[in-house]
């Protein structure tokens, strides 16, 4: 190539680059940055800044330090140490209206997770991608919390003590359900065996095998490959593989969801009978009003509007009632528990019912193996 030709090409490339750069600068403001899966995430609960899990602290102007790990992106990065801080703690409050953004799940720490520690102190080895889900979807209390509280009170099973209170597992603790006794999320009665990780099948072992990781939605058509009767999410309620009339209603063909709901209702009735007959202080439950269990001041078996106030929260706890209430809430706050680990749910509910049955009449429910 001649020197003239070479000089010409260099000049041409320089002019082309300058033109391209000018074009880029001219259109930069017009171009829309494409964020992968942004629209899918935007439709998810993680992006709903107006919902209670994220709007709760709006009046305060910051997410409480105790809650920020799972109710803000900044707090979560702090909790897992992705911001350079200590792992397993949050050092400060976090901004409101962040939700759970992309970087909360996609960062240098979550990609290398190998284990998850549950509130019970139990550690589950987990190198799969859903370890990042389990950090938050595990609850905040455990069976160990109940035992520690009861030990501190130091009273008999049916003695009311001011040191006892209702411990709330928190919400959507699906990982604690899924891993059962390996996580110790429920209250497990001494002398009983409990199912550990619920192995659904080879194709549904991680959270994101069933849930879209960005929308969190479940696609029922995937389930229909094995469960031919499934055409919508509502059909999940009718699935069952285990046999037994667990809730003793005479129907062993109903879906496992109905079996769990039946046992759940039996447990509530037993708790109400126990609180009235043994404690002489009736309780009632409202799943939409904190602290959920209230004194039933008029004895009508339900929480009336004037009773659903924090000052009327139930106070007359015995160890036996505190254990049962914890498991009742554990089942109530994982609406997908019948899929996440149905046997574990049935075992917890059955054992709570039969433990109360030592003091009040209860049906002869069936415990799954």
Angle at 24 between CA 21 and CA 26, to 5 degrees: 110
Residue 29 confidence class, pLDDT cut points 50, 70, 90: low
Residue with tokens 């009040």: 360
Question: Whole-number mean pLDDT of the chain?
Answer: 91
Residue 37 has pLDDT above 90, yes or no: yes
Question: What average pLDDT does the segment 208-237 reach?
Answer: 92
Q: What is the pLDDT of residue 36?
A: 87
- DSSP letters along 136-150, please? TTT-S--HHHHHHHH
What's the pLDDT tens digit per position in 92-132? 999 999 999 999 999 999 999 999 999 999 999 998 999 99
What's the pLDDT tens digit per position in 40-70? 999 999 999 999 999 999 999 999 999 999 9
β-pairing, 283-285 vs 293-295, is antiparallel
Q: Can you point out the beta strands (E) in 100-258?
A: 115-117, 123-125
Q: What is the pLDDT of residue 22?
A: 45
* Rounded Cα distance, 119 and 125, in Å: 15
What's the pLDDT tens digit per position in 243-300? 899 999 999 999 999 999 999 999 999 999 999 999 999 999 999 999 999 999 999 9
Taking the domains of the chain in order of start, what are their residue ranges?
38-112, 143-281+316-356
Torsion-angle region of residue 309: left (phi > 0), alpha (psi -120 to 50) or beta?
beta
The single-letter DSSP state of residue 292 is: S
- DSSP letters along 94-109, please? B-SS--S-HHHHSSTT
Question: What average pLDDT does the segment 312-317 reach?
Answer: 99
Q: What is the pLDDT of residue 241?
A: 87
């Amino acid at each position: 190539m001649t020197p003239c030709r070479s000089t010409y090409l260099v000049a041409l490339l320089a002019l082309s680059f300058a033109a391209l750069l000018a074009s880029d600068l001219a259109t930069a403001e017009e171009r829309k940055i494409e964020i992968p899966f942004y629209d899918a995430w935007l439709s998810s609960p993680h992006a709903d800044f107006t919902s209670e899990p994220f709007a709760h602290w709006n009046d305060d102007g910051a997410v409480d330090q105790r809650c920020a790990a799972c109710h803000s992106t900044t707090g979560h990065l702090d909790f897992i140490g992705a911001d350079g801080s200590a792992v397993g703690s949050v050092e400060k409050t976090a901004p409101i209206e962040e939700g759970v953004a992309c970087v909360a799940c996609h960062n240098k720490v979550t990609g290398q997770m190998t284990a998850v520690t549950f509130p019970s102190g139990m550690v589950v080895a987990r190198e799969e991608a859903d370890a990042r889900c389990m950090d938050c979807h595990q609850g905040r209390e455990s069976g160990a919390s109940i035992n520690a509280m009861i030990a501190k009170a130091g009273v008999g099973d049916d003695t009311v003590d001011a040191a006892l209170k209702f411990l709330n597992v928190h919400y959507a603790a699906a990982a604690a359900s899924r891993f059962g006794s390996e996580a110790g999320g429920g209250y497990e009665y001494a002398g009983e065996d409990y199912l550990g990780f619920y192995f659904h099948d080879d194709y549904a072992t991680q959270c994101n095998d069933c849930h879209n990781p960005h929308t969190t939605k479940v696609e029922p058509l995937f389930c229909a490959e094995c469960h031919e009767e499934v055409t919508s999410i509502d059909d999940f309620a009718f699935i069952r593989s285990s046999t037994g009339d667990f809730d003793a209603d005479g129907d062993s063909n109903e879906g496992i969801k109905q079996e769990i709901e039946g046992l759940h209702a039996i447990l509530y009735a037993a708790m109400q009978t126990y609180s009235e007959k043994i404690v002489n202080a009736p309780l009632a439950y409202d799943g939409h009003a904190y602290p959920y269990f209230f004194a039933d001041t008029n004895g009508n078996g339900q929480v009336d509007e004037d009773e659903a106030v924090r000052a009327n929260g139930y106070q007359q706890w015995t160890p036996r009632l505190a254990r049962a209430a914890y498991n009742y809430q554990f089942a109530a706050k994982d609406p997908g528990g019948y899929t996440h680990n149905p046997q574990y749910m049935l075992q917890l509910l059955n054992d709570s019912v039969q433990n109360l049955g030592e003091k009040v009449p209860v049906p002869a429910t069936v415990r799954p193996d």
